[in-house]
Structure formats: structure tokens, C-alpha cells
Amino acid sequence: MTTLSPTKARANLTHWLKKASAGEDIGILCGDKVIALRPVRVFSEDSEYAKREYGVTDAELKAFVKRADAELKRDRRAGRVTKHKGDLRAAVRI
């Protein structure tokens, strides 16, 4: 592992980020600890977030979405869910 002081890392940060992104072990000292630079996968889809955050499987998530969609459809037909046609800003003023 290449270990750097914060000053040295800051001086050429892009270089060290590219090295870490390529799989090289890069660490930056913070007091008596070494903080590792590692690439992380960022999820932008709600389904990926739910799977990661709550530990659900694809099948469990699919079943939940199916139940939620069916419940929303029933509520719309029963008139419990309607579209708001007014001024939302005015409706939420306190």
C-alpha cells in the first residue's frame, strides 16, 4: 500500500484517485490511522438502493412492488386517492 500524508495526497490528488480507481492500494494518514482510498459503486435506482439498504432479494422487491401497485389501484378506484388540482403551495401553508 502506498501511504501518503494529507499534504502529499492533496498536492496531486487526481493522480492518487486514478491509481486507487485502477485498483492500487492508496492510504492517507489521519493521525495514527490510515484511511484507504477505494472506488465504490453508486446506485442511482431505487431498486438497487432497496436491495442494498434492506437486504431484500429481487424476488422480494418484485413482490412488494406488485402488492403496492395493486393496493394503489384499489385505492384509486375506491376514491381514496385522487389527483390534487389546486395550488399545492397554498395547500401546505401553515
Q: Whole-model pTM? A: 0.47
pLDDT at 50: 78
Pairwise CA distance, residues 55 & 49, whole Å:
9
pLDDT at 54: 84
* Residues 38 and 19: beta-carbon distance below 8 Å: no
* Residues 64 and 47: beta-carbon distance below 8 Å: no
Pairwise CA distance, residues 66 & 60, whole Å:
10
What confidence tier does 35 reach under pLDDT thresholds 50, 70, 90?
very high
Strand partners, 35: 28
Question: How does pLDDT run across 41-73, given as a tens digit for each residue?
Answer: 765 567 777 788 888 888 998 898 899 999 999
Q: Where is pLDDT greater, at 48 or 12?
A: 12
- Looking from the CA of 66 toward its CB, the CA atoms found within 13 Å total 6
